[in-house]
Structures are given as C-alpha cells and as structure tokens.
Amino acid sequence: MAVRIVGTIGGELFGPGGAIAEDLAAALEFAPNAEDIDVDLESRGGDFFEGVRMYQLLSEHPAKVHVSIGSIAASAASVIAMAGDDIAMHETSTTLVHAARCPIFGTAEEMRKRADTLDTLTEAMVTAYSARTGKSADDIRSLMSEEKYLSAKEALALGLCTEIRKAKKGVRAIDESEVRAGIEAMRTQTMVSATALQIAAIAPPKQTQPSKGKEQPKMDPNLILADLGLPEGATTDTISAFAASAKGAAEANAKIFAALDVDSLDKAVGAIEAFKGLAERATKAEAELQAIRSETAKAKHEALVASALDPNSSSQHAGKLTPAEKTWALSVSTETLEGFLAVAPAVLKGDGKREPKASNGASSKEAKEVAPQWNGKTYAQLSNSERFALADENQELFNEMRDHALTNRLI
C-alpha cells in the first residue's frame, strides 16, 4: 500500500491542509495485511506529538516500510522518516533534526517547567534517531544542537537515510490517459497481429508455376481489407498508413507493458482493473474518514459550548456563555466561537448565578435607563453577529454593555 504524508505535520492543528496521525491510523487499519508500505514524505515539520504518533504507527506495523523523502523532511517529519526499514532521499533532498522547541510566555517558574518538558520531548526524538542510525545519544544530541540542514550525502553518512536516488534523464512518466489509450491500441494490435500474414496478400502475388492437375486458390484482397477495417479498394497510401499505425501501436504496447510490469494484454487489462478497484476503495475510505472528521469536529464544538456554559468546568472559557447564547454558539463555526470566547469575560459565578456589578446605589430602573449603546442599540437589542462584531471592534465597550445587561437581568 502507499501513503502520502505531505504538508504540515498536525495539519488542521496549525491551519488548513497537512497530515494528521488520525488519517494515517485509519489508512493502516484499512490494510492490516499489507506486506509493504510505501511512504511519500514531504514536510517541513509541525506538531511533535503528531509526528511521534505517526512514527509509532509505522514502526509498529508488521509490513516493511519504505520511506521516500521528497524535497525535505524536517523537524517532526524527520522523526517519521526514522520508521522506515529503508529511507530513500533524492540527491537534491534535505533533512533537518533539532531539539524540541515551543513558543512560551509566562513567569520564570513556568518557563523553568516548560524547559524540563522540552528536555523530555527532545530525549524522545533522540531515542528515534539513535535507534535508526545506531549512533550514541550524545552524538545525536550534538547533531541536533547544530540545527543544520543536511544534504542527502550527509544524511547517508550519518545513517539518517539508506540510499540516494539520482535523477533519470530522458525518461518521461506515462500518465493514466496514456495507459488507457495504450490498452485500446493493444486491442487493435491484437487484431492486426492475427491478420499480419494477410497484409502481404494485398500486393501482387509472386508468380509461381501451378501444380499440374490442381487449381490454385485465389485470394480476394477486398476480404482482407474488410477484416482489417479498411475500405474496399483502399489505396497503397491508406494501407501504408495503417501499417505505420500498427507499428506505433506495437511500440505503445511495449511502453505500457514496461510501465505496468506485465508481458501480455490480459495482464495489462487486469492491472488497470486492479488500479480501478484500489481507487474506488480509496474514494470510499476518504468518504468514511471525512464523515469521522465531521462527527469529531461536531463533538469537539459541542464540548466547547458545554464547557463555556458551565461555570464550574475546568476550561479556560468556563462561564463565558449564558444559556440565552447557547443556540447561537452551536450554530456558528468553531473558529467564530473560539474568537468570541477569547475576548468574552466570564459572566457566571461558580454557583451558576450571574456575577453582579456594583451599581453605586443606582436602582435597577435607573440602570436600565442609562444602558450603554453601540450603533443606537443596547446589548439586549444586538443580534449575536452584532455582538461579535462589537467585541472585535471595541472590547471595553463590549464588556461594559454585556456586564450591564447581565447585572440588570436584561438578557
């Protein structure tokens, strides 16, 4: 089986596209009896944990894993490459290994703890590199500290790959349309081959002495032309063109047979049918994966809404949504909801009651009369989309209007 790990490792964790461990796990589960796994690897890196999980999935699979690195396999992608029983790099490929890193802000104590965590993650990568190359942990740490892009030759010398592929000059890949065209040509060629001996009969027959007492059979050229699909009375030019076409079909056959690694028409047709079956299975698997992704995304979104509605949850967004906002929160995209929660203050106390705000002795009626507004509307009059726009435009006014509305039970 073949798998492609292309783009940012962690995929949607960092933006659209990329590769995630969940997809790789599903692909491997789809082919539990595969004897060989060809991995097309092309990535500048990404999430540490996603990369390590992909490394584990491939290294634990019973099949032989053949890794082919494209232009680059850096950072987390270089860890994935270590799962290969053999690792091929093009002569123009590069790879990069380095210690674990992450963006951080916080107190000195928090940074010291994060540094310890990074040391732990780095050791996990050291283990993978050391197991593949046979080099000591100290040598690997020294290599990682250099943080240097390595050429294919350097990677081979260090044991980070096992072979280097060279560019093939003058060889052009044959695409699917050419394969299908070639098969049709082969069908024509089969008919041509079956009547090849008859083509000569179109030319004037060689004069021979007839046997005494026997009448020599006469060959009708028009019947032969009909067998070949040519019109009655075809000219020499037409016949020559047909012969040239037959020769071209034979050459096409040879290319197709070589591309498919077969030696007969039946085997070539069988190979195409097999490719078609694999494509159909891959399409079905992709649809199933998409359904799983959709269900997972929906569940995550609903969990985010639930945690924001619950003032006692351990989420950083605990209590940032009111019951009146639940329907809106479930209807918007996760990106929109996360943006809203990132700027919205907590409005509920741990006991589930609204957090009161000092009113400086003003009565509820007075408070309502001086309700702050935005574009001529109070918070209670704003639609959910307008509230989000307000939060994006003026965070301070948003907090004031929302707090006023909650304190005075206007929503």
Q: Give the pLDDT of residue 234.
A: 67
Burial of 204 (0-12, 13-18, 19+ CB in 10 A): exposed
Q: Count the alpha carbons within 13 Å of 308 in the hemisphere toward its beta carbon.
A: 28
Q: Per the domain annotation, does 11 fall within a domain?
A: yes
Q: Are residues 15 and 152 in the same domain?
A: yes
Residue with tokens 């021979």: 208
| Rounded Cα–Cα distance for residues 324 and 406 (Å) | 11
pLDDT tens track for 362-382: 444 444 457 888 888 888 888
pLDDT tens track for 295-319: 888 888 898 889 888 888 888 888 8
| Rounded Cα–Cα distance for residues 112 and 92 (Å) | 40
The phi and psi torsions of 283 (rounded to 5 degrees) equal -65, -40
Q: Are residues 236 and 334 in the same domain?
A: no
Q: Are residues 192 and 126 in the same domain?
A: no
| Rounded Cα–Cα distance for residues 288 and 25 (Å) | 13
pLDDT tens track for 248-301: 666 767 777 776 676 776 777 777 777 777 777 778 878 888 888 888 888 888
Q: Per the domain annotation, does 282 fall within a domain?
A: no
Q: What is the CATH number of the domain that holds 155?
A: 3.90.226.10
| Rounded Cα–Cα distance for residues 381 and 169 (Å) | 70
Instruction: Tell me the sheet residues that pair with 40.
Output: 4, 68
Q: Are residues 159 and 184 in the same domain?
A: no
Q: Are residues 21 and 75 in the same domain?
A: yes
When divided into structural domains, the chain yields a total of 3
Q: Per the domain annotation, does 232 fall within a domain?
A: yes
Q: Are residues 370 and 250 in the same domain?
A: no
Q: Are residues 198 and 324 in the same domain?
A: no
In the chain, the percentage of residues whose pLDDT exceeds 90 is 26
Q: Are residues 85 and 138 in the same domain?
A: yes
Domain of residue 366 covers 315-407
pLDDT tens track for 322-348: 887 888 888 888 888 887 787 676 765
pLDDT tops 90 at residue 69: yes
Q: Are residues 117 and 19 in the same domain?
A: yes
Burial of 41 (0-12, 13-18, 19+ CB in 10 A): buried
Q: Give the pLDDT of residue 92.
A: 93
Q: Are residues 31 and 138 in the same domain?
A: yes
| Rounded Cα–Cα distance for residues 261 and 264 (Å) | 10
In one-letter notation, the amino acid at residue 32 is P
